[in-house]
Structures are given as C-alpha cells and as structure tokens.
Amino acid sequence: MKNKFRVMAMILAVLMLAMSFAACQNNENDPDTTSATNNSTPVTSSNGDSTSTPATTTDDEINLDGYAFVWVKPTHSATGRANMAPDNETELGIQLTDIYNEIEDRYNCTIEINQTMGTDFEALMPSAVGGVKYADAVCTRQSNWIPLAMMGGLRALDSQEMLDAGLDLYNENVFNQIYTQMTNVKGKIWGFDMSGIYDNIAMGHCYAFNKRIVENAGYPAEVIFDAVRNGTWTYDYFLEIARACVSDPAGDGLTYPVGDDIWGIALDGDGNEIWTNGTGPIVYDEATGKYLSNLTDPQLIKAMEFMAAVNGEGDLMVPEAHGSIPQRGDRRQIFYEGKAAFAGLYGGNFNDSNTGLMEDDFGVVPFPKGPDTDKYIINMVDLDSSIIMTSNTDYAKTAVILNAIGEKVTDFEAYKELVLESFRGCEDSVDVLFNYAFPNAFMNIAKCSSEMHEIMRKQLYSDIYTKNMSVAQAAETYTGKIQAELDGIFRQ
C-alpha cells in the first residue's frame, strides 16, 4: 500500500514546481535553505505608516487595524491544561480573558483560541499545498509538524524573516526556551512553547514508584532518590528493587486479576527505555545531514536488552499476554491501586483521575541509566508545539501578538510548581527530574510521523517487551523499515 505521506508529498512537489515556474523565484520555505526574504503583510503604526518589521516600531505605535488573530489550540483533557482558552467561569479562564482583552485594546486586534479546528496532518496538508491561510498558529504534535516542515509547509521560527518580523524567539520570558529549542530539526526551530500555569507540555515518561511497597522491601524512597543523585540508579539496581518488591502470598504465582499479589512493575516505559544508554534508535549524522536507523549499535542493543528484562518471565511485570490480557490503562490501574511497585508514567497520568486516586504516596524518578552513559534522560514523547505555516503571510502581525501573549503567560517556575503539585508535593521527585534528567531532555524523534510511531511502538517495542523476537532479531528486522521511513520523511 502506498504511504499516504509520500503521495501527498508528490502532490505538493508538483504544485510547488508549478508555482516556481509561474513566479520565477526560489522556494524560500525549503528547510535546507535560509532566506531573508520578507513577504509578510505589513504592520501599520498609529500614524498610518506601514512596516513589515515591527521590531523597529515601539509597542505604543503598533496598530493592527482590527486584525483577527487565530490560534488553534485543541483541548488536552488528559493533562488538565487550560490550553490558553479564555472563559467567564474558571479562575484561569477569567484571567486569560483579561489578558487577551488588554492585548486586543493595545494593538487594535481580536484574539481567538480555537479548540475545534483540526490539527492533524490531513487537516493541515491542504493549507500547505494550496497556500490558503489556516490560522496564525497551530498547536500540533511532532508527528504532524515534522513532515510538514520537511515539505516546506512551515516557517522556521529562527529564520531571518521571522526575526526581522520581531518574533522574540530567544526571550525566556516570552517563550519557554527548553521546549522551544527542543523543536530543532535539521538545524532549524519549527515550534514554540509558552508553558506556565495557563498551558503546559506534559512531562515525558519516567518511573513512578509506590513508597510503601519499596520501603517494605527494604528500599525507602530516600534511598532511591539518592541513587539518582549519586549516579547509581542503574538498570541492575532498578531490577533488583523491582524483584525485591514482588509478593505472592498464596504461592500460586502472580496472577491477573491481581488479588493479594504485588507485582514488581505494573507497566513499562512505553519503549522510552531504549534511549537510556547514551544513544537512541534514531540518530542524526551531522556530517551527512541525515537521520539514520541505529538499531545495531552495541550501546542500543544493551538498552533493548534492558527493555526485555523489564518484562521478566511473567514474574516481574504484568505482561501484555498474561491472563485476560490487560491493556496499558488496566496495568496503570494496578499501580494506582497499590498492587505494583513501579509503573512507567508520563505527564498526562499525574492528575486527579489517575495518580490522584492513589491511597499510597508515590515518588517519581527518571529511567535508570545504562552502563555506557553517565546521564539520565527524559524523552518528550508528545511535544505539542505551536507552529506557523508558510500559508500565513500575516506572520509579522502574528509575531506582535504572540510576543504579547508570551510575555503574560510564559513562566517556567510556575510550570515546575504545577509539576510539584501533580507529584503531591514530593520535592525529591521534582529535584531528581529537573536537576538530573531534564538537562538531557529531548523530543521524541521516533514520532516524526504517524507511520514511524506505528513501526516503533506497535511493532519494535512490542516485539521486544513480549519477547516475540530476540533483541538481535528485532534489530535486524526493523533497521530497514525505520531507515525507509526516515528517508521518506526527511527527503534524504
């Protein structure tokens, strides 16, 4: 079956070729080129003069002449985020209403946060192909925006034209620098983030642990936190603790439904353990400018062997093929109910309807590190970033409004306070994540397309966890598949 992305890419290529003949000019949106061309709709100052570079105009002089700004920001209910949407009922919504009203009055514009328009690849593709403006900015996942960026459908935010338009990209008080810089693909920044109390990206995967269970097994929470700080939180130590926590009072083997049994691990890290030994399944080669499949790297083999060990032999982690085949949500529930010592969770799981239901206290630590690295990592699986499409020729006006919004809402310290609250005030958890793992956080490039996500999560990771294949067999089987998808997405 033909890959839908490649078909759409061919259509876009034909249309762009036709437009290039008609306009007799270079394609300034090719991600492999840099252009200083500024073709934005001018911003008008209060005295009627026009300028396409609002950075040279003072705030008090900018008049956007009733410009209608639209930011597509879908609701992510799992994370409990306000998602920048104003309302007249909630405390955050009312605050946002006041913020937007102030900006609208200052610049003579209107601001709409649209939560109904589509944000997937199929919804955005017609705008990329036809050049008809979709919105000023769109918040979407990397599996959608990376293919669009590589096809020339997005504006690089660090391009000269965007900087000349006044986008205050490198100001930490306007844009969250960690998550914004994380959108760097092939040397260009494609997305922005304004994490704070009004909107926040969900934390990447980590291991949560039940403090009561690990202490009963002889490993108090402070011992585990100190292991992270001391650099001894390793594959072997993690597995040692998980095995020590296993309890089978009836002596009839661990079962599901659980009953009185205590499992060592309720749920794996959704494949993210594969990044914990100093490399990953996909690497970027600076010399060639290409993304490469890396499954046969000896360091990666060790990480995949750890993934297989996490599953155990049906006596450590609640397996996918055990009993009535519990799904991932079922296995998380086992942890919430205090029937497992560890569980691989991510930001969206730390809220009132998930960990908030737990009777036991829990701690959170990064994945243990492999033998070939001295760093802990966090892989940001779902990097929901906001992008500006090439079809938005009003980007100078967009920049003015984004700067104003970001200045009001971006607050990394407030974001950390929210994380602390979601961890029930466990300061040790926040400490080990933000001080020992967060400096090495990165975007999950293995979700560079929906097709790649299927290959990695539903096939490669599953075959390793369930031992459907040996690690060596999995590396041989999937190397070619991954490389073929990379070549298509990144036009290599």
**CA quadruple 90, 93, 95, 96: dihedral, nearest 10:** 180
For residue 43, name the pLDDT band (cuts at 50, 70, 90). low
pLDDT at 352: 87
Q: Look at residue 216 and tell me whether its pLDDT is greater than 80.
A: yes
pTM: 0.87
Q: How far apart are the first and last CA of the chain?
A: 21
**All CATH 3.40.190.10 domain ranges in the chain, comma separated:** 57-202+383-410, 206-377+449-489
Question: What six digits make up the tokens of 207?
Answer: 């291991």
pLDDT at 152: 96
pLDDT in tens, 103-139: 999 999 999 999 999 999 999 999 999 999 999 999 9
pLDDT at 44: 47
Return the CATH fold of 57-202+383-410: D-Maltodextrin-Binding Protein; domain 2 (3.40.190)
Rounded percentage of the chain residues whose pLDDT exceeds 70: 85
pLDDT at 321: 52
Among residues 185, 234, 276, 272, the alpha carbon closest in space to that of 460 is found at 272
pLDDT at 464: 93
**Backbone angles phi and psi of 81, in degrees to 5:** -80, 145
pLDDT at 138: 97
Place of tokens 């490389």: 483
Domain 206-377+449-489 sits in which CATH superfamily? Periplasmic binding protein-like II (3.40.190.10)
* Distant-in-sequence, close-in-space partners of 24: CB < 8 Å, separation ≥ 6: none
- Higher local confidence (pLDDT), 438 or 20: 438
Lowest mean pLDDT among 4-13, 100-109, 405-414, 436-445: 4-13
Q: Contact at 8 Å (CB) between 164 and 157?
A: no
pLDDT at 112: 97
Among residues 148, 31, 84, 41, the alpha carbon closest in space to that of 389 is found at 148
Q: Look at residue 28 and tell me whether its pLDDT is greater than 60.
A: no
Q: Look at residue 434 and tell me whether its pLDDT is greater than 80.
A: yes
Lowest mean pLDDT among 34-48, 146-160, 246-260: 34-48
Question: Cα(197)–Cα(297) distance, rounded to whole angstroms?
Answer: 41
- Higher local confidence (pLDDT), 166 or 8: 166
pLDDT in tens, 44-89: 443 344 444 444 455 668 999 999 999 999 865 444 455 899 988 8
Question: Cα(401)–Cα(36) distance, rounded to whole angstroms?
Answer: 22
pLDDT at 211: 98
pLDDT at 326: 72
Burial 157-179 (b: 16+ CB within 10 A, else e): bbbebbbbbbbbbeeeebbbbbb
57-to-27, 41, 52, 60, 162 alpha-carbon distances in Å: 29, 15, 10, 8, 15
- Higher local confidence (pLDDT), 273 or 78: 273
Lowest mean pLDDT among 58-67, 170-179, 466-475: 58-67
Q: Look at residue 453 and tell me whether its pLDDT is greater than 50.
A: yes
For residue 395, name the pLDDT band (cuts at 50, 70, 90). very high
Q: Look at residue 258 and tell me whether its pLDDT is greater than 80.
A: no
Q: Look at residue 210 and tell me whether its pLDDT is greater than 90.
A: yes
* Distant-in-sequence, close-in-space partners of 193: CB < 8 Å, separation ≥ 6: 175, 176, 179, 180, 201, 385, 386
**Helix 4-23 / helix 471-489 crossing angle, nearest 10 deg:** 20
Q: Are strands 43-45 and 50-51 parallel, antiparallel or unpaired?
A: antiparallel
Question: Cα(166)–Cα(164) distance, rounded to whole angstroms?
Answer: 5
Q: Look at residue 195 and tell me whether its pLDDT is greater than 60.
A: yes
- Higher local confidence (pLDDT), 20 or 185: 185
For residue 189, name the pLDDT band (cuts at 50, 70, 90). very high
Across the chain, what does the average pLDDT equal?
87
Lowest mean pLDDT among 63-67, 275-279, 466-470, 486-490: 466-470
Q: Look at residue 202 and tell me whether its pLDDT is greater than 90.
A: no
